[in-house]
Structure 1
Amino acid sequence: MTERELFDAYNKDVYRTCYYMLRNTQDAEDLCHDVFVTVFRQDWRDVEHTRAWILRIAMNQCLNMLKRKQAQLKKQSQILLLHEQTTESVKSVDTIVLEKVAEEEWEGLFKQLPEKLMAVVTLRYIGELSLAEIAEALGIPVGTVKSRLHKALKIMRKKLEQNQNLSLKGEKQFGTH
């Protein structure tokens, strides 16, 4: 049997196996070619069960390709995830400054609250406790927690609006708006 006869005899079986494993026409054609290159580089005339031997080579090459593709996909997804995290973490200087100013402004407003209200706000938004958990921690009814939280937020909102009105008046006065 010549190499051409061997190729003609097993080409369809190898291609079918590769296509079934890879589900991609181009990859199956490429691997089919690679299988026969591998076969022809070895002493294929001495193999007793030629078809089984060739199909085992095809199967092994398909599995290797699937592993490579899976590793590439994993690497690509890791790179994409890293890129997303990097772009999220990179903030403009303006954004950082605005966040810092807002944080300082909120902290200032927060410190002006009476202790009872400050306790409820802290437990709710910093401690991330539920209303029932706050009530249990402070030994007060849930209704009291709700009213204190509402009152605290109302006070902070009012003071924030006053601060914004003052800054707008200042901008108009100095012509910076």
Structure 2
Amino acid sequence: MNEKELFEMYNKDVYRTCYYMLHHAQDAEDVCHDVFITVFRQDWQKVEYMKTWLMRITVNHCLNFLKRERTAKQREKRQFILTPQRTADPVDTLIEHVEESEVWAKWVHELPEKIRSAILLRYMNELSLSEAAEILEVPLGTVKSRVYKGIRLLRKKWDQARKQHQKGEMYSEAYGKSVVSSSEK
């Protein structure tokens, strides 16, 4: 297998992992390219489990990117605190309907990094728990725990959204109006 074949075979998996971890297309593309540059600079032809090895490199690159980004955001936050704050946009200008897949992607993106990594490797890349543990360099039990916590957190968000939606429908049916919960104001 040559470099082009390796890239064509795994590019989509690497990009998808980057996108779901970073939640930004351009950043995902940049990190994806960095991953392949790193791979091609190493002796990749002797690697026995290519996908597992590539996913480990991908996750590490994404985590490093997020750490750098977090540091930059902390600097921005300090600067923001020193400047006068503007008032938020009115609630009625917010988008009312969002695609369900975008909501799920947002919820996954909001998970803590370690939990998000385990969820993405398990469900987006369809890796076994043991493969995810190897990539993340943690014990199998830790991956199981993180996946369980991630599912529990996502289910909680789903239940809250469903309850909010049901409350809105009941109000709308009773009064013929839409409702905005106090938590959204």
**Which TM-score band (shorter chain)?**
0.3 to 0.5
Normalised TM-score (structure 1): 0.46
Larger CA Rg, structure 1 vs 2: 1
Q: Which structure would you say has the larger RCO, counting Cα contacts within 8 Å and 6 or more residues apart?
A: 2
Normalised TM-score (structure 2): 0.44
Choose between structure 1 and 2: higher helix proportion. 1
